[in-house]
């Protein structure tokens, strides 16, 4: 199952649930996203031609992150650009999520192991702005 988290027509996240199954190659992201997320499922004996990726200069204006939940449960809180809470989703073991834009925070609901993938180079605290969600207005999610 694939879920797009939208708020007022804006895509904030793509969630690929652990039970997603589709043969072949399937990408969930449009080609212009700076982070590409896809699934590949092939039968025994299928071959993928050897290849290298060319050096290409890309302009990345927004960090997009992928989270892979290996174990446990995680609640994801979504925020718009004005830091207003716009909803939440729960991720379970095996779920994968691409955070496209906006803000986000997390609460571990069950002891959680996850893998995070994002563009680099990572600039540490220069790469993000932390905020207090209690200080802003809370909105409803869709």
Q: Quick one: pLDDT at residue 136?
A: 53
Q: Quick one: pLDDT at residue 123?
A: 82
Please give the Cα distance from 116 to 111 (Å, whole number). Answer: 16
Please give the Cα distance from 138 to 90 (Å, whole number). Answer: 18
Within 13 Å of residue 103, how many CA atoms lie on the same side as its CB? 16
DSSP 71-106: EEEEEEEEE-TT--EEEEEEEETT-EEEE-SSEEEE
Q: With beta carbons less than 8 A apart as the criterion, state whether 12 and 99 touch.
A: yes
16-70 pLDDT, tens digit each: 999 999 999 999 999 999 999 999 999 999 999 999 999 999 888 888 999 999 9
Please give the Cα distance from 1 to 22 (Å, whole number). Answer: 10
Q: Quick one: pLDDT at residue 135?
A: 61
């Amino acid at each position: 199952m694939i879920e797009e988290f939208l708020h007022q027509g804006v895509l904030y996240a793509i969630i690929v649930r652990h039970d997603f199954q589709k043969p072949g190659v399937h990408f969930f992201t449009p080609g212009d996203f700076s982070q590409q997320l896809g699934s590949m499922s092939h039968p025994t004996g299928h071959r993928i031609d050897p290849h290298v990726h060319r050096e290409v200069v890309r302009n990345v204006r927004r960090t997009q992150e992928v989270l892979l939940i290996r174990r446990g449960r995680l609640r994801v809180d979504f925020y718009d650009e004005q830091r207003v809470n716009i909803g939440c989703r729960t991720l379970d073991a095996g779920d994968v999520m691409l955070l496209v834009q906006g803000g986000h925070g997390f609460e571990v609901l069950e002891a959680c192991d996850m893998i995070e993938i994002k563009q680099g180079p990572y600039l540490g605290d220069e790469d993000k702005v932390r905020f207090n969600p209690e200080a802003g207005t809370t909105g409803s999610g869709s």
